[in-house]
Amino acid sequence: MLLLGLTGAGALALWHWQHDRVVWVMLAAGVVYAVAAWAVWRHADAQDAAAQRRGLLLILIAAGAARCLLVAAPPVSTDIYRYVWDGRVQAAGINPYRYRPADEQVGFLRDAAVYPHINRAATAVTIYPPFAQMVFLGVTRIADSVTGMKAAMVGFEALTVAALLALLRSRGLSGNRVLLYAWHPLPAFEFAGSGHVDALAIALMVLACWLAERRRPLTAGALLGAATAVKFFPAVIAPALYRRWGWRLPTALLAVFIALYLPYAGVGWRVLGFLPAYAQEEGLANGNGYFILNALNAVIALPPWITAAYLLAGGLLLTRLSWAAVMRRRPDRISLTSALVLLTAFTVWVSPHLAWYFTWIIPFLCFTPSWALVYLSAAAPLLYAIIWAPGDVPLHAALYGPFAGLLALDWWSGSRRSPLEFSDDGSLRSRHAG
């Protein structure tokens, strides 16, 4: 009830355009979530079947109610207006990578509800990859509105929950663990509240994990390829799903990814949209966008070559983690822990400035408990302050500093002192049980 009350307060703040209050509500809800996560990790798997069914029903009802409170409220982010616009442009038979919203060629599509809120309308074509574009087209043909798009993202969240429940059941774990995703305030506010398309990519990614576990590599690879054609992040977990010497999953991933670009290829290299300029804007090319480099640069003057060295070191680390994920992959089971490690390493490496990029790690908390990642994902709304005020190094430090400390504590307590350790499926087992 407390979580629902906080969600309602957040929805009310959205209606009054009090976005700073929304951030505080999300952070407070993160504390309540952490308590609920502790209870699930400690007790869920020990409950009898009837108690688990009752608990799951309560979890799903509360999660659905929270999203209903948010879906009709105004979004914090303006990205969703671009989604609706891109769908509208395609419905008119126009390639969305061809024109900016302010261009006269698409002037006849403008209205008072969507067009005035599109960010970079005069300076940028769309940034979103092709499968996202196809979904924008499909959704707007059903409901050409922001609320309709947000409702669709909540529908994709339902697919994520269903896939998580199937994975939990296949591993003999309590379905109540789905609370780790369903009650997390970040997906609720970012997907039901702001309608970010990451909800679609996460649903496809988790479905790919489930199908890979069921030994359907072609379908899993195809879904992972589609997810990568929504946002590029899902490709990071491919090594955790890949079975050594198998060709089906990587072939399907690559084939689907390329095929989805073909309908839009008439604009040539412009099919990448605003992405190259966005990478420059976020400081990913000159090093200004990476927290570790920014923090070091605040203390000492870094040489010009440090960005290349940082990118090389991060690439080598991800390569090493990917190899470990492939080697850890069992014939009968994918390593969800490896998927989580890869996503976390990549996220910390690129240190995104936007809170919703931390939603990617949340589904895997259902299988691999980590207080460090609970903090990282629950504290991510702090990043909204970077948009509204200067000083991103201290804000990033407030996010990554405690995360690093908790990560070290996770490792120390799990590897050095605790009589319990986590297996790859996230269940607790005694070290001394053999």
Q: pLDDT digits over 76-98, tens only?
A: 999 999 999 999 999 999 999 99
CA-to-CA distance for 221 and 228, rounded, in angstroms? 10
Residue 421 pLDDT exceeds 70 = no
Q: What is the pLDDT of residue 387?
A: 61
> Torsions phi, psi of 378, nearest 5?
-75, -30
Report pLDDT digits (tens) over 17-56.
888 899 999 999 999 999 999 999 988 888 888 889 999 9
Residue 296 pLDDT exceeds 80 = yes
Report pLDDT digits (tens) over 143-163.
999 999 999 999 999 999 999
Lowest-confidence segment of 98-102, 123-127, 369-373, 423-427 by average pLDDT: 423-427
Residue 349 confidence class, pLDDT cut points 50, 70, 90? very high
Buried residues in 269-304 as b, exposed as e (16+ CB within 10 A): eebbbbbeeeeeebbbeebebbbbbbbbeeeeebee
Mean pLDDT across 406-427: 58
Report pLDDT digits (tens) over 223-272.
999 999 999 999 999 999 999 889 999 999 999 999 999 999 999 999 99
Buried residues in 59-78 as b, exposed as e (16+ CB within 10 A): bbebbbebbebbbebebbbe
Residue 388 confidence class, pLDDT cut points 50, 70, 90? low
What is the overall mean pLDDT for the chain? 91
Mean pLDDT across 95-115: 97
Lowest-confidence segment of 177-181, 292-296, 376-380 by average pLDDT: 292-296
Q: What is the pLDDT of residue 324?
A: 93
Residue 301 confidence class, pLDDT cut points 50, 70, 90? confident
Residue 425 pLDDT exceeds 50 = no
Contact in structure between 221 and 243 (CB atoms under 8 Å): no
Q: What is the pLDDT of residue 419?
A: 32
The secondary element (H helix, E strand) that includes residue 430 is strand 428-430
Residue 375 pLDDT exceeds 50 = yes
Contact in structure between 382 and 23 (CB atoms under 8 Å): yes
CA-to-CA distance for 231 and 352, rounded, in angstroms? 14
Q: Which residues contact 178 (CB under 8 A, 6 or more apart)?
A: 56, 59, 60, 161, 164, 165, 168, 366
Q: What is the pLDDT of residue 418?
A: 35
Give how far Cα 323 sits from Cα of 10, 239, 313, 316, 338, Å: 43, 7, 15, 11, 10
Q: What is the pLDDT of residue 1?
A: 76
CA-to-CA distance for 167 and 12, rounded, in angstroms? 35
Residue 311 pLDDT exceeds 90 = yes
Mean pLDDT across 185-207: 98
Q: In which residue are the tokens 């979004």 written?
A: 75
Mean pLDDT across 402-416: 81
Q: What is the pLDDT of residue 424?
A: 55
Give the whole-number percent of the chain exceeding pLDDT 70: 94
Q: Write out the two tokens for 46.
A: 């020990």
| Helix ranges restricted to H, 44-126 | 49-71, 79-91
Q: What is the pLDDT of residue 329?
A: 86
Q: What is the pLDDT of residue 220?
A: 97
Neighbours of 225 (CB within 10 A): 27
Q: Which residues contact 324 (CB under 8 A, 6 or more apart)?
A: 338
Q: Helix, strand, or coil here: 333?
A: strand
Residue 415 confidence class, pLDDT cut points 50, 70, 90? low
Q: Which residues contact 429 (CB under 8 A, 6 or more apart)?
A: 420, 421, 423
Q: What is the pLDDT of residue 328?
A: 84
First to last CA, the chain: 41
Please, which residues bridge with residue 422 across strands?
Answer: 428
Strands (E) located in 217-267? none
Which 8-state DSSP code applies to residue 192?
Answer: I
Q: What is the pLDDT of residue 427?
A: 43
Q: What is the pLDDT of residue 359?
A: 97
Report pLDDT digits (tens) over 314-343.
999 999 999 999 988 888 889 999 999 999
